[in-house]
Structure 1
């Protein structure tokens, strides 16, 4: 059993003591966020999106899916469902800078955190683009960082097409993310 301090915000050092129990442990401004393992639909959409991004990704960038630590501060470590970052920015254990793109596939247990806390924290850290995909409604909303603020650049559903330019050109159609299964 892990005992966490109660008299101060948590740090990444505290996070390192969390058990490997199938939950995702993240830290936002010293507050622990625990989410259960994602379901089939979430993972299927994530796999399809990962395949599309990897196929279009230039060699100097890397596409990775969770779990992988994005260390934004001593009191903030996120694990977006999918990230794109410069190959040279990774360490063996983490990404110590904001990614060029962070993607969250929304789940009932994570929707509010993904659309508010994570979005705000990634914006503050200077993440170049942030996408949220709803696997049930088959929608995608994309924001890009302009003058230090996220600006919505796309909101597509079903067979609509999103022609992304950041972090590299790629075409995403939400209905294609449901996959062949």
Structure 2
């Protein structure tokens, strides 16, 4: 996945790679595809993959869905090269997980998500707003729905990015951004 997407995207620093955090991230993405959104302890991850070493009934289906999701992400990156999405906060593991989850769920719902450059533009514009420090200082009552979603997404990353509830929130919001449902 990392080689295919290129440019150390998503970003895993050298020290974390030595601790196999890149493998752990892929493991969490595979488990997401098989089990849905969950928070995984290291102990659970170890057990889940130990169990699958012996027999993994859903292996082919999960691997195919994983590859298709990564291909869709690559297509979004390629269609929006001028934006350089791989340099945005999508390079962070939590944000990448959200994008991956949103695309996987949309593909399941629509059978085949049509990738366009507009998706990259919407994601980029949304992530800029998520990173806007002024947004966090405004009264929630004065925010538009789009701004509220950006703030909710930011809070879901900031306060507990591995919690199942915050992961679901981020995926739900990212799906809306990709669909163009929030402006």
TM-score range, shorter chain: 0.3 to 0.5
Structure (1 or 2) with the greater helix fraction: 2
TM-score (norm. length: structure 1): 0.33
Higher relative contact order (CA 8 A, sep 6+): 2
Structure (1 or 2) with the greater strand fraction: 1
